[in-house]
Amino acid sequence: MVPVIGGTGMPCEVCRQVHRDLSRVLGTSAPDDWMSVTAGERLEAELTPDVCIMPFRGETRHFIRGHIQLPVTLPEPDVFVWSVWVEVDEASMAAIAHTWSDPNRAASAPLSGRLATELPYEQPTRGLQITIYTRDPGMTPLLMISPSSHHQLADEQREGIALHRVAEFAELVQR
Ligand SMILES: [Zn+2]
């Protein structure tokens, strides 16, 4: 996947600026709560680009990284990706670990979890109900926001966004 969305070189219908070379993928390298674990807990924790397991107040929490794909509909079809973390229960993490290198893992049943990354939306995104679809080995799992969440993120995943919104995301995450 190309790391930028280039645009058409035509002025945007919303802001009249020309959007080019916008980041196709934005996100975080760890779950938000990674910042809250103590130095001692962090010694016991594991953080890779795809998985995070961390002690937290006497319990063990499990996270995986996934992609929320938002279809870009205007001015031409494309896709924007939020690279985020999802908290799953221990049984789900065991299932993910069990099939991680399985060439047929994309056939695994979907799992559920809770979004563990705050994204720049008016309503909170942490805690949103997520369905996790594993893909072929080497591919980041795809995440679907529950449509019953009545959240702008769910609407955008279902209905798509314009390139102008991708430009807004780039500004919002810089704040
Ligand atoms: Zn614009």
Segments forming the whole domain that contains residue 131: 4-174
CA–centroid distance, 15 to ligand 1, in Å, is 4
Give the model's pLDDT for residue 145.
97
Cβ(120)–Cβ(169) below 8 Å: yes
How many structural domains comprise the chain? 1
Give tens-digit pLDDT for 21-55.
Answer: 999 999 999 999 998 888 888 899 999 999 999 99
Of 79, 131, 93, which Cα lies nearest the Cα of 110? 131
CA–centroid distance, 3 to ligand 1, in Å, is 19
Mean pLDDT of 84-98: 94
Give tens-digit pLDDT for 102-128.
Answer: 898 888 899 999 999 999 999 999 999
Give the angle subtended at the CA of 89 by the CAs of 79 and 100, to the nearest 5°.
Answer: 60
CA–centroid distance, 31 to ligand 1, in Å, is 30
Integer Cα distance of 134 and 3 in angstroms: 22
CA–centroid distance, 175 to ligand 1, in Å, is 18
CA–centroid distance, 169 to ligand 1, in Å, is 11
Q: How many angstroms separate the Cα of 6 from the Cα of each of 9, 27, 151?
A: 8, 19, 28
